[in-house]
Amino acid sequence: MAWIFTPRANTVARVVAVGLLAAPALGVFLLWAYARSPLAQNMRQPVAQPVQFDHRHHAGDEAIDCRYCHSTVEVSSSAGYPSVATCLNCHSQIWTQSPLLEPVRQYYFADRPIPWNRVHDLPDFTYFNHSIHVSKGVGCVTCHGRVDLMPSVQQAHPLSMGWCLDCHRDPMPHLRPLEAITSMRWQPRPGDPRPEELARLYDVQPRTNCTTCHR
């Protein structure tokens, strides 16, 4: 009578057994890893917009301050999106015939808002306030990345709760002088006030209670 199981069968059985045991753990691990991957967190994915607005040109080459368009960032929870009229402040004078700006003119003369696609989309139960962050020395680039290098804006950081809490627990590495709050290229130089001094100066006391963000 021939052997039903060849000697290799032992190895196969062991591999199968280990595999069966490992599969759930691996599955959980993969899910865990996926949830923390840039893909699941919507990171580094350029978002198409109804108007091909290029931050590289406006914020980079022309060095227009962020607050020219995002004008309520220092007073309101929302940084604010520019009204169509804001675009026309300049573009009624320059690039008045540019085909790239055709949609902007159309929206303006039709008195319709431009339906931008949101890039930094926090969950609706999370209440983020821009004004408190920029008044405590957290710069635009800290959360939004080098927008001046982005052809179309993408999310540079995870915007996950853990990422928020890292800074709320230890804001020191992320503080900068208020003069440089919108600067994209600012680096601490010798002689600049140290983070501890900035924290004292700006009265930085981040809170980590749930209701700080969830209400």
Partner 1 sequence: MPPLTDRYPLPVLQDPPRTGTAGAGERPRAWRSLEEWRGSPELARAAEREFPPGAAESLQGLDRRRFLQLAGTTAALAGLAACKKPAEKVMPYTHQPPDVTPGIPNAYATAWTPEGYAAGLVVTSWEGRPTKVEGNPDHPASLGATNHLAQALLVDLYDTTRVRGVKLRGTPRSFKTYLEEQVERARRLEASGGEGLWLLLEPSASPTRRELLDRIRQRFPRARVETYHALSRDNVHEGARLAFGRPLETRVRYDEARVVLSLDADFLTQGPFALREAREFAHSRMPERGAMSRLYVAESHFSVTGMNADHRLRMKPSEVERFALAVLGELARSHGLPGLERFRELELGWPEKVREVRAVAGDLARNGDRSVVVAGTRQPPRVHAVAHALNGALGSQKRLITLYEPGVDAGRGGPEVLRELAEAASAGRVDTLVVTASDPVYTAPVGVTLGAALSAVPNAVYLAFREDETAKHSAWVLPAAHVLESWGDTRAVDGTASIIQPLIQPLFQGLTELDVLSPFAGVADQPPYQLVKGYWQRRAGAAGPAFDDTWDQWLAVGTIPGTEAPGLPATVDVGAVDASVRAFARKPSQGLELNLLPGYKVHDGRYFHNAWLQEMPDPLTMLSWGNAALLSPRTAERLKLEPRDKVKLTFRGRWLEAPVYVLPGHADDTVSLELGWGREWGGDSPEPPADLGVNAYLLRHADAPWFADGLQVEKVEGHGRYATSQDHWSMHGREIALQDTLDEYEKKKPEYLQHLKGPVEKLYDPFKYGEPYQWAMAVDLNLCIGCGACLVACQAENNIPVVGREQVERGREMYWLRVDRYFEGSPEEPHAIPQPMMCQHCEAAPCEYVCPVNATVHSDEGLNEMVYNRCIGTRYCSNNCPYKVRRFNYLDYRPRVTELEKLGFNPDVTVRMRGVMEKCTYCVQRIERARIEARKARRPIDTEALESACAQVCPTEAIVFGSLHARDSEVAKRHRDPRHYAVLHELGTRPRTAYLARIKNPNPELEHG
Footprint of partner 1 (CB under 8 A): 47, 72, 75-78, 80-86, 107-108, 111-118, 121, 123-125, 127, 129, 131-132, 135-136, 203, 205, 209-212, 214-215
Contact 24, 31 (CB under 8 A): no
Q: Cβ 178 to partner 1, closest distance in Å?
A: 12
Measure Cα distances from 3 to 15, 17, 43, 167 in Å: 20, 22, 56, 65
**What is the end-to-end Cα distance of the chain in Å, rounded?**
75
DSSP 118: P
Tokens, residue 190: 């010798």
For the residues of 139-203, what is the DSSP string, one character each?
A: -HHHHH--GGG-SS--B-S---HHHHHHHHH--GGGB--GGGTT-SS----TTSPPHHHHHHHTT
Given the complex with partner 1, which of 11 and 126 has the nearer CB atom? 126
Tokens, residue 189: 């130089």
Q: Cβ 127 to partner 1, closest distance in Å?
A: 7
Given the complex with partner 1, which of 179 and 203 has the nearer CB atom? 203
| Count, residues in the chain | 215
Given the complex with partner 1, which of 80 and 177 has the nearer CB atom? 80
Q: Cβ 176 to partner 1, closest distance in Å?
A: 17
Q: Cβ 197 to partner 1, closest distance in Å?
A: 15
Given the complex with partner 1, which of 135 and 188 has the nearer CB atom? 135
Q: What does the alpha-carbon distance between residue 157 and residue 170 come to, in Å, rounded to a whole number? A: 17
Given the complex with partner 1, which of 178 and 180 has the nearer CB atom? 178
Q: Cβ 145 to partner 1, closest distance in Å?
A: 19
